[in-house]
Amino acid sequence: MMIRSLLISLVFLLPCTLQAQDAASLSCDSAKTTLDMQRCASNALEHAKRDLSKYLQEARHVASKSALLDSAQAAWERYREITCRAAGSQYEGGTMKPVVVLNCFLELTRRRLHEVYDDYLRTSDTPLREPKP
């Protein structure tokens, strides 16, 4: 009986949860506060990192020398860190610094995703699709 009540509650709550997710994505397009901008950029970056990890994993399977791919990835990560920290340094002490750094991380991560696809996966029989621009 209790499980049935719980399931019924979940059925009614699911549409509310989906609407909240839609509202959150819409609010990112019109985020006005730095806290909202930071939250949105952070969420988008986590999604991009998950995608990049998935594409790198697939690239390791098709690469003739996966150790070189791993070495290149480590160098790229250092490059991303240094580049984005430098971009944020002009906002030292300001509330926009975290937003600038996160957006830089996001942009470079998305570019790297395309590079991995183009360099390793485009001509393979991977089930992964070409990333969206």
Residue 91: φ, ψ to 5° = -110, 20
Residue 84 to residue 76: CA distance in whole angstroms: 12
Structure tokens at 129: 């699709």
Q: Express each pLDDT in 50-74 by its tens digit.
A: 999 999 999 999 998 999 999 999 9
pLDDT band at 26 (very low <50, low <70, confident <90, very high): very low
Q: Is the pLDDT of residue 12 over 90?
A: no
Residue 71 to residue 38: CA distance in whole angstroms: 30
- Which is more confidently placed, 132 or 105? 105
User: Residues near 12 by Cβ (< 8 Å), separated by ≥ 6?
Assistant: none
| Out of 56-60, 82-86, 93-97, 104-108, least confident range | 93-97
* DSSP conformation class of 117: I
Domain regions of the chain by residue span: 35-133
Q: How many CB atoms lie within 10 A of CB 88?
A: 20
Residue 27's pLDDT is 54
CATH (residue range 35-133): 1.20.1270.180
